[in-house]
Each structure stands twice: as structure tokens, then as C-alpha cells.
Amino acid sequence: MSPAGETVVVADVGNTRIKLAVVGAGITATRLPEVTLRQDLLSREFRPANLQQWLDRAAAGTVVVLVASVHDRAAVGLEAAIAEVAATGHRAVRQRRVTREHLPIPVEVDEPNRVGIDRVAAAAAVAVAKDADRPAVVVDCGTATTVDLVSADGRFLGGAILPGPGLLARALAEGTSRLPAVADLDSGALPAMPGRNTQQAIAAGIGFGMRGAVGRLVAEATAAIGGEPQVFLTGGSRGIVRDVVPGATEIPDLVLHGIALAVGRLQSPS
């Protein structure tokens, strides 16, 4: 556990953004840790000053930053920034890299070490949040969209990965000579159909395509795991599929909650 008086910060280093948050006190194995004061920073534009400014607002005194990453270059930049802040001597700041072994969930797939830490963290959070006797399906809509399964007894069983809406839009813009880039695809509003211009046509293809894909994947996951699984929805693009997972429990920062669960296994300072 973190030393008394030390503020715990979690960092989810994704393909597009670095997400930071402060973890509330009183972490237990039976409820999700509280995460507050979330800050999103673009991974490609991150600077040490960004971290210093946010820490000045979010945390007084000593800090430990738990870093979980699926983007190696961005994680190295964040860790260098943490070291730079610590070197100023204005405050005590230490850091730990969170790995699969630090998260309280068994990973039962062919290659456990190749599963993204974000998927494992989200599943670990769901294993705590779900009903004890029910399996779960975890839908995380970000740069990539994942649909994963958690058994009734809290094991990560794998799932499916597909491109998120922003990645699909970039693939069309970069992989063709005339199709334009289309932004603002994360809204839950239904796109126009038929699209009356190229932008609308792309928005319709991606919007309805994502809905169809996620709806089918959730149905397949439900059939595969059996019973009546709870469905959890998270990720910055979750609005685009909200209407195809009615009744889902929506937790915007599921990955950050999951990273915070690593505190209990990261007892020794580094």
C-alpha cells in the first residue's frame, strides 16, 4: 500500500491520449477505487510542464504515479517527465510501471503477456464491479474497440479487437486519394442515411458499421460465455454504440479504476 500521506496517481498511456487521475483513499478488493481530477493529454504533444501543472492542481505533498501503457514511446516520455519533476526537488515523486502481474485478475488466454494492459485493467475493474455470480462482457471504445469476456469467478477469457471510429476514418483518409478526413464521430447521434455528401457517407458507414459490429460481438460473447452476463461500457467513443447495448453499465474511466487496483500489489517503493 502507498505510504501514509502519499497521493496515488494513475496514468493510462493509450495510443492517442495519456489519461491521469488521482486515486481516492480506502482501496479495497470489494469495490472500485474512486478516481478524480481526471486530465487527458494528447500522447504526441505531451510535455513535462503538462505534468507539473496538473500535479500542482491535483495533489499536494508526495506522489506516486502508477503508469500503465500500450504506447511505449509515450510511456517513456511520461516516465522521463516524472523523473524531471522529481529532480526539481519541489516535491517527492516516484513512479511504478504497472504490468499484468500487478492486477488482481487471472488472464486465461494463449499468450497472456501479449494482452494489452488496458484490456486487463478494464477486466480487473469489472471483476470487482459485477455481481459475484454473473459473467460479464466488457466493451471499451477507444482508438481500438475491444469486446472482452470475464467469467463469473473473475477470470479474463479474451475477446475481440477491431478499429475504433477515429482509426477507421483515418484509414479511409490515408489509404485513398480522394476521401476526406472526417472528425467528430464519437457522438451518440445517429448519422444521416443515406449520406448526401462524402462526409455524411463516411459517417454513416463508420457509425452504423460500428454499431453493427459491436452489437454482433456482444451477442456472440454472450452466447460464448453463457448465462446472463452483465455488459459494461467504457471508452471515449462509447457514445457511438450506446444504443446497441441497452442496459449496459456505463463506467467512463474503467481502465483508470482497474489500474488503481494495482496499489495493493505495489507495496515496495522503487
Q: Which of 55, 227, 205, 220 is nearest to 136 (CA)?
A: 227
Candidate list 56, 72, 118, 186, residue with the active-site label: 118
Q: 59 with 52: CB under 8 angstroms? A: no
Evaluated on CA atoms 73, 77, 80, 82, the torsion sign reads negative
Nearest-angstrom CA–CA distance, 254 and 32:
9
DSSP state of 267: -
* 118 in catalytic set: yes
The number of beta carbons lying within 10 Å of the beta carbon of residue 258 is: 35
Q: Which of 243, 260, 180, 231 is nearest to 207 (CA)?
A: 243
Residues 6+ apart with CB under 8 A from 166: 16, 143, 183, 185, 186, 237
Nearest-angstrom CA–CA distance, 154 and 148:
12
Residue-wise DSSP of 14-54: -SSEEEEEEEPS---SSSPPPEEEEEEEEGGG--HHHHHHH
Catalytic residues: 118
